[in-house]
A = this chain, B = another copy of it.
Amino acid sequence: MRRHNLALVLREIAAHGPCARTEVAAATGLVHASVTALAAELIGRGLVAEVGSASSGGRGRPRRLLRLVPGRVVAIAVQVTLERVEVLAADLAGAVVHRASVPHHAPFGDPEPLAAVLADAIRRAEAVVRTRPDAHLARVVIAMAGPVTGPGRTVAAAIDFGWARTDLRALVTAHLPDLACPVDLVNDANVAALAEYHARAEQGGELPYAVAYIKADTGVGGGLVVGGRIHTGTHGLAGEVGHIPLAFDGPACPCGARGCLAMYVGPEPLTAAAGLADIAAHEGVDAALTELDHRLRAGDPSATQALTAAGRAVGAAVLAITGLVDPAEVILGGYLATWYPWLTEGIDTTLSGRRAVAPHLEPTITPGRLSEEATLRGALQTSREATLNTPTQIPHPNPQNP
């Protein structure tokens, strides 16, 4: 149908920067005439604009380049951590419209105060977006630690916040009766995986069919991207690699099982293994992680040994991921990316046996490129994909000429 082809052209323009109609036609398989008609509609909707001409080297009429109109479609991403609410509003090209970081002191077990903080942060971001002429707020995406389940994926079960089955979207939208756009709830590590996946695209080269992502910061999480889409699983648990068992007779984990990955690479076990349990107990686990960073860079043996042991656990997790999902790449995030040089020895130890038997079947393991931004960028990416696939949902900019 027309909507399908409209989305096809829009995605092509969004993906391959400013490009001419001829290039779009070649890439999409559509005929020139169709691209002209579809591009005209996209221009009419204010999504796409011509941006000067550029000769293609030889003689002939120069191609008139099409690109997304900056600031036309904006999404708001909100990341909830234990201490702060991070907000990033950006357009489809990723240009930042608004950025904020709001500290919060949400009580354990009661989601309502945090919902109020979130609603307030969203309202401020929306106000900034509204000051821009012709800007259309397409979506609000809230990224949280913990599985997102339930019908419509609106329910968060966040152990760190003491919630069980909380319909966070309903709580937040109750504060925002005038908000016209959809509000999505997503898992933070899942969308971070998506962001890292797309960060590959900007480095050129083919996008792999499947990638896995493992991150550790305040907790251990991850995500699976298969065919460009997040695999959420039946209950939103997919990619929760923190609780895959590496030693089924290992130490008991709060999740109820034994020997989970989180018991080997999580912040508490890791700092304890490096001999920093005292600091963690008295000054908090963040302070212990900072100290661990110092000691690693100073070459402290117990610190590097702790990271090598963690690397062995990561290697075992990679083996489990390989057997089940078989991704082309496993991307490490959080402090697993920061401390990647100290992890490689342990990872290689675990994987060496398998690599010797089947060297070409193992995924490449790389540290992530996006660090702190991964989650917010990934949340924006989910909105971006929804928008590019449904361009007809963007209203015409000038109401007198629909």
- Interface of A with B (CB < 8 Å)? 147, 149, 157, 208-210, 212, 224, 226, 231-249, 252, 254-259, 312-313, 315-316, 319-328, 350-358, 360-361, 363
Contacts and interface: CB of A to CB of B under 8 A. Distances in A.
Contacts of A232: 326
Contacts of A231: 210, 226, 325
Contacts of A353: 252, 255-258
A248 B247 contact: yes
Given A255-B357, A358-B255, A233 B248 contact: no
A363 B234 contact: yes
A237 B324 CA distance: 8
A247 B244 contact: no
Nearest to A237: B326
12 contacts: A209-B234, A233-B327, A237-B361, A239-B323, A240-B323, A241-B324, A245-B316, A246-B246, A246-B248, A247-B247, A256-B356, A321-B324
Contacts of A321: 324
A241 B320 CA distance: 8
A249 B247 contact: yes
Contact of A234 (B210, B252, B320): B210
Given A208-B234, A231-B325, A244-B324, 6 more contacts: A157-B358, A233-B325, A233-B327, A248-B313, A257-B354, A320-B324
Nearest to A320: B244
Most buried by B among A212, A252, A321: A321
Can you list the 9 inter-chain pairs with the closest CB atoms, starting with the nearest? Answer: A233-B326, A256-B353, A256-B357, A248-B316, A237-B326, A256-B354, A238-B326, A244-B323, A234-B328
A324 B238 contact: yes
A241 B212 CA distance: 17
A397 B240 CA distance: 52
A42 to B, nearest CB: 22
Given A313-B248, A324-B321, A350 B234 contact: no
A237 B357 CA distance: 14
A363 B356 CA distance: 35
A371 B147 CA distance: 35
Contacts of A324: 212, 224, 238-241, 244, 320-321, 324-325
A210 B237 CA distance: 12
Nearest to A350: B248
A233 B210 contact: yes
A360 to B, nearest CB: 7
Nearest to A248: B316
B325 A243 contact: no
Contact of A242 (B147, B244, B323, B326): B323
